[in-house]
A and B are shown apart, each in its own frame.
Chain A
């Protein structure tokens, strides 16, 4: 297991609980076209789509991402992480940002999968599949969390350039919708959700994520040794 120095970073000690928003970029659903209205989905999602990144997935910058033996590549989900600063239950949209202590970069790593219906958690919950860091930037230092440049590098080449803008639910709306049914505690992380078109990283590559004003989260990718 990788060490977790990130747990004691300023300005907030992380609880280790991470909820990742999925399909929050309208391009995700748009790319499905009519399929979003057909079986098994039947209709586009109404509530936020979320997954839990359990504690075995947490990692810091520099920790190794391992590709399982039966896979070619990992999907790199570069996303903004909101670090909760105070107990957040049913927060109104207008005051939602007041509940955020700071922001960090989260890499929602997954094994590429086509179905969004009921994908096995082994695609998302493998050891080390949630690097976070390299720091938590105080909320006051981020002018607008919904207008930040996001870049993904594979080795030294830019693999994806997007922003945090244009989400189905921007930061405040997402936090309000989630805390309507799930109370978040100080140190919990809720991500905004990655942009459509996750780059694929292969063994031997070095993945680096940058979000404007938040630094660089870097992880080497290796092939997992056979069991």
Chain B
């Protein structure tokens, strides 16, 4: 089943897919644009992967000091960075390179502590789409990637749907795509992950207990380009969802 959480008419609702948009749990059917889309689950710890697609590693190879033979490059993001589908993300005026990252987000459903890869998938509740923005101008070489690059307000977009794990027979056989203003700028396939989902859960759960609601952002494939104020960024994963985000300028944030 696919579920969303939306705000409408003074309350927060669970919502479901419908041919005319969304159907609220109370029966009302509404156009997709009539509701406010919230992240589709209670977000716990946000764990993100850097350089987890072989093609993206190649794309960035000039600036890398690591290889994919090292342990997974993991960083954490703060909960304040989270937005839902159809939100606005601010592009600061002083930034020259801000880019999207379309990623498969894996949501933990069962506490995982020292779980071996062979049993890891039993701890996955479901999936959603994540756009994990980066603001490259702010990158500094201390505890990379620093929070000012990756954990800014509006930098982690989740949704629209929480897709039950049972509905995704093979999460490593999904195509990811990003469109900016209708033009396809990024395409990849989850089979190209350097560390796949079971390997990530084994690696992480060795030192940190994963809890329901924790989410692993599994990295992005090649094809990251700058986006500008007014751009519509659509990140999409087959069978998981199609997420829209709009880039906004400083002015509407009173800056």
Contact = CB atoms under 8 A, between A and B. Distances in A.
A47 B138 contact: yes
Interface residues of B, number: 35
Contact of B211 (A45, A56, A125, A184): A56
Interface in A9-44: 17, 19, 22-23, 39-43
Given A118-B66, A121-B74, A183-B80, A42 B146 contact: no
B140 A52 contact: no
Interface string B143-155: 1101110011100
A216 B45 CA distance: 28
B81 to A, nearest CB: 7
Interface in B201-215: 206-211
A127 interface: yes
A125 B142 contact: no
User: What does DSSP make chain A's interface, helix, strand, loop or mixed?
Assistant: loop
A121 B114 contact: no
B249 to A, nearest CB: 16
B21 interface: no
A17 B78 contact: yes
Interface string A41-57: 11101111111101111
Contacts of A126: 207-208
A120 B74 contact: yes
B142 A23 contact: yes
A117 B208 contact: no
Contacts of B77: 52
Contact of B141 (A42, A127, A188): A42
B76 interface: yes
Given A121-B76, A182-B153, A185-B80, A49 B143 contact: yes
Interface string B57-95: 000000001100001011111111100000000000000
Contacts, number: 105
A54 B76 contact: yes
A122 interface: yes
B198 interface: no
B78 A56 contact: no
A118 B146 contact: no
A117 B74 CA distance: 13
Contacts of B78: 17, 19, 52, 182
A1 interface: yes
Nearest to A51: B143
Contacts of B143: 22, 49-51, 116-119
Contacts of B76: 51-52, 54, 121, 125
B151 A117 contact: no
Contacts of A185: 80
B44 interface: yes
Contacts of A56: 45, 208-211
A121 B46 CA distance: 12
Contact of B152 (A1, A22, A181): A181
A68 B81 contact: no
Contacts of B140: 45-47, 49
Interface of A: 1, 17, 19, 22-23, 39-43, 45-52, 54-57, 68, 89, 116-122, 125-127, 181-185, 188, 227
Given A47-B138, A118-B73, 15 more contacts: A1-B209, A17-B79, A23-B142, A42-B141, A47-B148, A49-B142, A50-B143, A51-B76, A51-B147, A55-B44, A56-B211, A118-B66, A125-B76, A182-B153, A184-B80
Interface of B: 44-45, 47, 65-66, 71, 73-81, 113-114, 138, 140-144, 146-148, 151-153, 206-211
14 contacts: A17-B79, A41-B141, A46-B140, A51-B76, A56-B208, A116-B142, A117-B142, A118-B144, A126-B207, A127-B207, A127-B209, A181-B153, A182-B148, A182-B153
